[in-house]
Amino acid sequence: MKKVFLFLTGMFLLCNSLFSQQKVGLSASIQNSQFGIMVPLWLGEMFVLVPGVDLKYSDAVGTDLSLVLAPRFYIRKEALAPYYGARAGISLFMPKSDTGQLDLIGGLSFGLEYFLTDHLSFVVEAQGNLTKSAGDSFRFGNPGGINFNTGTMVGVTIYF
């Protein structure tokens, strides 16, 4: 739990120090059955750093927390802006009655962001991910193993 706290603190400090940059957004995303919050930080004309968090909680089961950091490199900046990127993160399941399970995620992505206005956009992203599961984790159906999976993410972003 101490490692998760330190990671969250580091992510907060990173976001806080970069918050004064050109443009910052708040995104809501849907990927499979998970809902997430992301904070796109424009650090240049064609580069965005996107920290994100997914959180699920159940009184009977426990807490499932995922943290991700995803840089995006835009190919061109127009109303329909294609990009490619990478992602790295952790998924931590903390059950009520057992020890936690930490899974690692890394991958590549390609997406399109449609800017309806300067302050509102929609995102569709295709992903290829490698995952390393904890020995007792059934999150990816291969406890202790390495998996390759694909995914899609859709989201909406409000920019400030």
Q: Is the pLDDT of residue 87 over 90?
A: yes
Paired with 35 in beta bridges are: 30
Widest CA span in the chain: 50
Across the range 84-94, mean pLDDT stands at 92
Spatial separation of the C-alpha atoms in residues 95 and 33, rounded to whole Å: 19
pLDDT of 52-75, one tens digit each?
998 877 777 788 888 999 999 999
pLDDT reported for residue 8? 52
pLDDT of 90-110, one tens digit each?
988 887 777 778 889 999 999
Torsion angle in degrees (nearest 10) through CA of 8, 130, 110, 153: -60
Spatial separation of the C-alpha atoms in residues 132 and 20, rounded to whole Å: 35
